[in-house]
Structure 1
Amino acid sequence: MADIRTLTPEIAVAPQLRIEDLAAVKEAGFKTVINNRPDGESMDQPPGAALEAEAKRLGLDYRYVPVVSGAMTMDDVTAFDAALSETEGPALAFCRSGTRSATLWAFTQAGARSPDEILTIAGNAGYDLSGMRPYLQRG
């Protein structure tokens, strides 16, 4: 099973999920899976279509919001926020390490939570997003 790290009761993040992880994700109570990893980023990752098919078979909502590592845009943040708002929670977002997913979540919280609160939540989950502070202060 993947290393799931809870940010809030509504959202958790994880490193790359495997097809065989999805049954445990459902058993853990998640309703939605958000894939933030572009297909083909690594030879050992399962194709998004295979993950989506298994998620749907299990009754999980599945959203594909690919974000290129090191090249996140505000359109990516908007798409992630839409995926969260259009689906039932709790949601589990994943990428290679979980950092992109945690970063997307942090950006969706700018203006709604203080930068200190966002960085503390991410830090408690094992993600040091302190370099984002200037962006989070802008909201």
Structure 2
Amino acid sequence: MDIRKIDDTISVAPQISVEDVAEAANLGFKTLVANRPDQEEPGQPLMADIETAAREHGLDWVFMPVQSGHITDDDVNRFAPMIRDAEKPVLAFCRSGTRCTVLWALSAARNTPVREIFTKARNAGYDISGLAPRMAQQACEKG
């Protein structure tokens, strides 16, 4: 499992397996967030199976699928309070971890300096510099 720590509250990962859930729990994660829809590609594990494993290992489960490359303001508006209120630390996953990072960055832009967000994402291996205009717009949302 390729876990990439953004900060002490959230880490992201590419697609996890049912077997990875036990490792996530052993590493101390409290909430597992799936930002990937079922059947996005052949061979992908069913989210219901990952949910079952998450619950068996005492993790809170959030299924918040987002279409790759088409993250809307509504998606950010759902993600922001979820991540704020989730029991931490959170492990969010999608196909590559990018979608989760973008959701986090756009929601964090409401309360965190953009430079800090870029640095955290870059340190986790994600270049989100193309999000600068959307992050500026989100900074006006506050919340």
Q: CA deviation at 1:37?
A: 0.2
Equivalence for 2:14: 15
Percent identity reads: 46
Any conservation in 2 of the 1:35–1:94 contact (CA below 8 Å)? yes
User: Are the counterparts in 1 of residues 80 and 108 from structure 2 also a CA contact under 8 Å?
Assistant: no
Where in structure 1 do 4 or more consecutive aligned residues deviate above 2 Å?
A: none
2:35 aligned partner, one-letter code? N
Question: Contact 1:102 / 1:122 at 8 angstroms: preserved in 2?
Answer: yes
Aligned: 1:4 with 2:41: no
Within the alignment, does 1:124 sit opposite 2:126 as a pair? no
- Structure-2 residue corresponding to 1:74: 73
Give the aligned partner of residue 56 of structure 1: 55
Give unmatched runs, 5+ long, in structure 1: none
RMSD between superposed Cα atoms in Å: 0.9
Q: What does 1:89-108 correspond to in 2, within 5 Å?
A: 89-108=88-107
Comparing 6-15 with 129-138, which one deviates more in the overlay? 129-138
Unaligned runs of 5+ in 2: none
Amino acid at match of 1:120: T
Query: What amino acid does structure 2 have at the position aligned with 1:34?
Result: V
- How far is the alpha carbon of 1:20 from its aligned partner? 0.2
- How far the C-alpha of 1:71 sits from its partner, in A, is 1.1
Q: Which secondary structure does the structure 2 equivalent of 1:120 belong to? A: helix
How many angstroms does 1:60 deviate by?
0.4
Distance 2:72 2:125 in 1: 23
Count of aligned residue pairs for this structure pair: 138
Q: Deviations over 1:96-128 (max 9, x none)?
A: 000000000001111311111111110010000
Distance 1:85 1:111, change over 3 A: closer
Please tell me whether the aligned partners of residues 32 and 89 of structure 1 are also in contact (alpha carbons under 8 angstroms): yes
CA distance in 2, matches of 1:85, 1:38: 22
